[in-house]
Amino acid sequence: SQQGEEDPQALSIQEGENATMNCSYKTSINNLQWYRQNSGRGLVHLILIRSNEREKHSGRLRVTLDTSKKSSSLLITASRAADTASYFCATDAAGTYKYIFGTGTRLKVLA
């Protein structure tokens, strides 16, 4: 069954606004990663958060992890048109050695 599931499926915002997308998963994890994909291209790694971490920052990105709720959120602050892409979370179930991706959130930032 699918491990990571993003919400919302699609998000449209104005440039300068913040964008928040969520990921929920079902079983305990070792790590959770967020990736970005521009239309029809490969995925680019954004940030990795370990199960013993609660929050991480990277530039305009802020990721939180709540293992009690089995959920993570990705916040992009002061969004730009160039942030338009699909965003995926990838989780690994504890005791396994493979990452499972969700269906992604399609973000559109309007100039």
- Interface residues with another protein (CB under 8 A) are 2, 4, 30-31, 33, 35, 40-45, 48, 50, 88, 90, 92, 96-104
For residues 108 and 96, what is the distance between their CA atoms, to the nearest angstrom? 34
Nearer to another protein, 48 or 61 (CB): 48
Least separation, in Å, of the C-beta of 76 and another protein?
18
What 8-state DSSP symbol labels residue 17?
S
Least separation, in Å, of the C-beta of 46 and another protein?
9
Q: Write the secondary structure of 62-106 as one string of H (helix), E (strand) and C (coil).
A: EEEEECCCCEEEEEECCCCHHHCEEEEEEEEECCCCCEEECCCEE
Least separation, in Å, of the C-beta of 67 and another protein?
15
The pair of three-digit structure tokens given for residue 104, joined into one six-digit string: 């992604």
Residue 51 has phi, psi (to 5 degrees) of -65, -20
Nearer to another protein, 24 or 104 (CB): 104
Nearer to another protein, 40 or 69 (CB): 40
Nearer to another protein, 16 or 50 (CB): 50
